Amino acid sequence: METYNTAKIIKILQDSPYILITPRILKELTGINSESTLYRLLTDLVQNKILGKLERGKYVLSDDRVNDFVTANILYSPSYISFETALNHHGILSQFPYETTSATPKKSRSKQIDGKLYSYVHIKKSLFWGYSKQDKYLIAEPEKALLDQLYICSKATQ
């Protein structure tokens, strides 16, 4: 059975460029080869709130690099923050949306993590443009968020 130094591993994680931590990435960073040791380490890191578990095989560092928008991009990829969420972020809507909504060329779906709702709305692949990277997440430009909102509204009335 392999052993590990938790403090050393925490330092490695904090110094790494990764926000999303998977078992494969953790193995690469730590050099731990035993699967049972690796999963024991993951459990320890989650219990000590060093990592937050998003879903099976996906963890994020519990630090200031991770916010709801980063989490939304990680949970379902490819996607970018759009619709009411992006419009609020850009100061166009004053109401704060209840959920974080993203556009995706994949199937629509919703995920609930730690009491927060993340929704992903399908748009045509040809409409998957008009976003940029801000900090560590992808978000629609203000005009594109409005176009996405109008597109979805027009689909609902058909």
Ranges of each domain in the chain: 6-61, 68-156
Mean pLDDT of 84-96: 94
Q: Is the pTM of this model over 0.85?
A: yes
Whether 118 contacts 111, CB under 8 Å: yes
Look at residue 23 and tell me whether its pLDDT is greater than 80: yes
Topology given in CATH for the domain delimited by 6-61: Arc Repressor Mutant, subunit A (1.10.10)
How many alpha carbons lie under 13 Å from residue 3 in its C-beta half-sphere? 1
Average pLDDT of every residue of the chain:
94
Tens digit of pLDDT for each residue in 53-80? 999 999 999 888 789 999 999 999 999 9
Look at residue 114 and tell me whether its pLDDT is greater than 90: no
Q: What is the dihedral angle through the alpha carbons of 104, 105, 111, 115, rounded to the nearest 10 degrees? A: 0
pLDDT band at 2 (very low <50, low <70, confident <90, very high): confident
Look at residue 20 and tell me whether its pLDDT is greater than 80: yes
Look at residue 1 and tell me whether its pLDDT is greater than 70: no
